[in-house]
Amino acid sequence: MANSPTGDSVTGRLVRVLETFTPTRTVQSAAEIGRRAGLPRSTAHRIVGELVEVGLLERDDDHRVRIGMRLWELATRSSQALRLRQAAMPFMERVQARVREHTQLAILEQEEALFVERLSVPTAGANITRIAGRLPLHASSSGLVLLAFGERELQDRILAGPLRPLTRQTITDPAALRRKLAEIRTLGHAVAPGSIEEVSTGVAVPIRDETGAIIAALSVVLPRDAATDLALVELHRAARDIERALRAQH
Ligand code: PHB
């Protein structure tokens, strides 16, 4: 890829532009994008214009820019996440109908839990998870499951810290986290009371491929002091059914 005078590649600049969009910042002006991406104004305007031209970004009547549906379409249609989501959806709906709290599906992405689906009911309690949002591995039930059943090298990197506290219950001591991961492997699931927000308890189970390697975590977010038994039974049952559905896709 051709480089700019400052040495960063076309692709690098493109990614920086796209990364200025976040779950809470979905609409921006080209000037704001340029500032946030650290690009000269004229470069930002040119890149944004080109991306709008091909449909990866869209411009509204006020000339403000958002992520285009074309980008969503291209990213979604051939992704592994879509295949997983399709296999999981009927069983997530069953969990959600029976437990009547948030049910969510996460995969490991760049050392964080990335949420590819989330179902809720109006009566469900607090939940900070967003679809296409991320949570730290050491602080969420899904993350803990992805970590506990993940590769040794990943565990070593996360245990080396920093283990940032999100609440007073977040595990920030490497020895305590190592013990928690061993407990999760023994039990086959994670329960994380108050670890990412004080008012909730996350409960998560692994979803594995035919070799036994973990591919995702399925979780429920409950009010902090709610019983976890029903959620655990339903999550384990759903994980087995999702694994079977994934095998049948081959
Ligand atoms: C969790 O998975 O532990 C979790 C996720 C989102 C919340 C609370 C807990 O809002």
Summarize pLDDT for 118-132 with one digit per residue, the tens. 999 888 888 888 888
SS3 86: helix
Residue whose Cα lies nearest atom 9 of ligand 1: it is 202
**Residues of the chain predicted below pLDDT 50:** 1
Are 166 and 177 in contact by the 8 Å Cβ rule? The answer is no
Show the tokens assigned to 84: 């997983």
CA distance 96 to 104: 9
Distant-in-sequence contacts of 6-14, Cβ < 8 A, 24+ apart:
13/37, 13/39, 13/43, 13/47, 14/47, 14/51
With tokens 């095998």, the residue in question is 247
CB of residue 219 inside a 6 A radius of ligand 1: yes
pLDDT of res. 1 = 47
> Among 119, 221, 235, which is best to mutate for testing ligand 1, by the most ligand atoms less than 8 A from CB?
221
> Among 114, 118, 196, 222, which is best to mutate for testing ligand 1, by the most ligand atoms less than 8 A from CB?
196
pLDDT of res. 25 = 93
Residues recorded for the chain: 250
Domains of the chain: 10-75 (1.10.10.10), 80-248 (3.30.450.40)
pLDDT of res. 24 = 87
CA distance 53 to 69: 13
Half-sphere exposure of 145 (CA within 13 A, CB side): 31
CB of residue 103 inside a 6 A radius of ligand 1: no
Whole-prediction pTM value?
Answer: 0.88
pLDDT of res. 226 = 95
First-to-last alpha carbon distance for the chain, in angstroms, is 36
Question: Would residue 61 be called left, alpha or beta, if left means φ above 0 and alpha means ψ between -120 and 50 degrees?
Answer: alpha
